Amino acid sequence: MTNTRPTTLDNAPVCLKAEDISAILGISRARAYEVVKSDGFPCITLGKRLIIPKDKFIAWMDEQVQC
């Protein structure tokens, strides 16, 4: 099994990591962590691990659309 990051939501697992968000959105890892830690972002913290439910991430993206 290779340890590659998903580049689309279609091939993404049910739960994402900040690194997955970085690859999917095409942003830097540092910027992905800023987004994940921002108010209103759907993130579960387990110890030091940040977990983003894929369905909640999709809903969050839909809410961000302003055009």
pLDDT digit string, tens, across residues 16-54 = 999 999 999 999 999 999 999 999 999 999 999 999 999
**pLDDT confidence of 58, banded at 50, 70, 90?**
very high
Beta-strand ranges (E) seen in 1-67 are: 15-16, 44-46, 49-53
Q: Return d(Cα 50, Cα 17) in angstroms, integer.
A: 6
Q: Are 41 and 60 in contact (CB under 8 A)?
A: yes
Model confidence pTM above 0.85? no
Is it the case that residue 3 has pLDDT exceeding 80?
no
What's 15-64's CATH class? mainly alpha
Domain extent listing, the chain:
15-64
Q: Which residue would you say has higher pLDDT here, 17 or 5?
A: 17
Q: Are 39 and 3 in contact (CB under 8 A)?
A: no
